[in-house]
Amino acid sequence: MSSLSNAGVGLMSSFIYLDHAATSWPKPVAVQEAMMKSLEEAAANPGRGSHSMAVEASRVLFKTRMILAQLFRVSNPNDIVFTSNTTMALNLAIKGILKTGDYVIATMVEHNSVRRPLEYLKRTLGIHVKYIDVNAQGELNMDDYKIALMAHRPKLVVCNHSSNLLGSILPASEIGRLAHQYGAYFLLDAAQTAGCIDLDVSAMNVDLLAFPGHKGLLGPQGTGGLYIAPELDLEPLLHGGTGSQSEEREQPIVRPDRYEAGTPNTVGIAGLQAGVQRVLELTPAVIYEREWRMTQLLMEGLNDVEGLRLLGPHRGNPRTGIVSFVVNDQDSSQIAFKLDREYDIAVRAGLHCTPLAHEAMNTLHTGAVRASVGVDTTEKDIAAMVKAMHEICPHKM
């Protein structure tokens, strides 16, 4: 059982969870306790009243913004906007900055949370999009990137910091530096890196940072956020009540109210605060090292499975806690089904909402099995996964 949580697992103590790239589990006990405390003591609407419970709810949001600013090296916590997930954050960033005819550079490892908003704006506003190729290990062709920057002078560069299929880590700081050199804003999708890789928005040349609360930050689902550089003014994605400047017809200009219309998920944000606190206690560097060591053990164990092809960076190279693979031409869903039903091991199969990456890896027809580790994944968990795959597929002779 995970040392992060000694309660709430119950009869599932033998269950092996290797789907942390989708959402982390189990949540730390402190996250569960913070959410319950919020329900009991801060359940009113923040910013919508002056009574003590409403004030306490506002305090929860403020403290969480503060601790996120500490994690991401953000000077002004009010530049961090709460969203319900990374998808909403990316939509706010992309739709808030792009106008008719703008040019965007992205990559072939983008998630649909980037690709679909871009394709929508391509159809409705006539924006132009260039997806830069990656190699078999998921590495970006930087020469192609530089050529595209020089040729098109884009308004926005979007980069998936780590592929949710391949685990490859793109050189975000260099991508951001070159984007600024050619006059572009830089949007970093940190869905797979927030919490396990040290992120410094200034040092990494990041203008917009989209992140989830429920993955590497160890918080609950329904939480996430977007850092917006102070000089940027995005068009809001949502319009409505903010609890401030109610007499105005238009959305307030002041942050974070401008981008946070409607009642926030105070209970979830309280849980997120506790999750981020745990990340800061462990440090992203320690978390990365733990997860990297487990991925290396898993890759080593899977290397002898007949017909199995590992995707992403070679063993020994940097990667996030994701190990995806295909076995001959087998449907990945069938393998994941067997792992779940016969071995109590949770993985994910299919296209993982990133068909561009599958196109680059030539795996659109099979999908891939994705095992993803978390900070408390154990060697015992890895050994069980390897043993199961050796039983599902024959050994090499």
Distance between CA atoms of 331 and 338, rounded to whole angstroms? 12
pTM: 0.94
Reported as half-sphere exposure (CB side, CA atoms, 13 A), residue 266 has a value of 25
pLDDT in tens, 348-375: 999 999 999 999 899 999 999 999 999 9
The values of phi and psi at residue 350, to 5°, are 115, -145
Any idea how long the chain is?
Answer: 397
pLDDT in tens, 113-124: 999 999 999 999
pLDDT in tens, 257-316: 999 988 999 999 999 999 999 999 999 999 999 999 999 999 999 998 999 999 999 999
- Predicted confidence at residue 83, as pLDDT, reads 98
* Structural domains of the chain, ranges and CATH numbers in brackets: 10-18+283-392 (3.90.1150.10), 30-281 (3.40.640.10)
**Hey, which residues does 194 pair with through a beta bridge?**
197
Nearest 5 degrees, angle CA 10-CA 215-CA 168?
Answer: 125
Beta strands in the chain (DSSP E): 16-17, 80-83, 103-107, 128-132, 156-160, 185-189, 208-212, 224-228, 308-310, 322-327, 345-346, 348-350, 368-372
The values of phi and psi at residue 175, to 5°, are -60, -45
| Chain CA centroid to CA 100, Å | 28
